[in-house]
Amino acid sequence: MERLDVTILGKEYPLACEPAEKEALLNAANMVDRAMQRIRASGKIAGNERIAVMAALQLAGELLQAKSPDARLAVGDYKRKIEDMHRMVDAALGSQEKLF
């Protein structure tokens, strides 16, 4: 295990993680810090505990939205569009070959 210090909303937190997980943990801490900074800057919510809860709810909502069946449909839509473009390119190249 490796010791890692992260700063969230101006407060330092010592954490432990496997070396392979260090970058992901740093990215997660930065994401949480940015979410909490935005909430605090809005001025609508006071108190670090409330800010932390609101940030957790926002991030959890984003995660659930990304994992929802609708998100998979969106990826499927892009895949289908890419496949359609491939067919169009193949058809265009096939008609060009007939000209030569």
Do the Cβ atoms of 52 and 39 come closer than 8 Å? no
Do the Cβ atoms of 39 and 51 come closer than 8 Å? yes
Parallel/antiparallel/unpaired status of strands 2-8 and 11-17: antiparallel
Q: Give the chain's end-to-end CA distance (angstroms, integer).
A: 65
3 state SS of 85: helix
pLDDT for residue 61:
81
pTM exceeds cut of 0.75: no
pLDDT for residue 22:
94
Which residue type sits at 14?
A: P
- pLDDT of 9-58, one tens digit each? 999 999 999 999 999 999 999 999 999 999 999 998 889 999 999 999 88
Closest by CA to 8, choosing from 44, 45, 49, is: 49
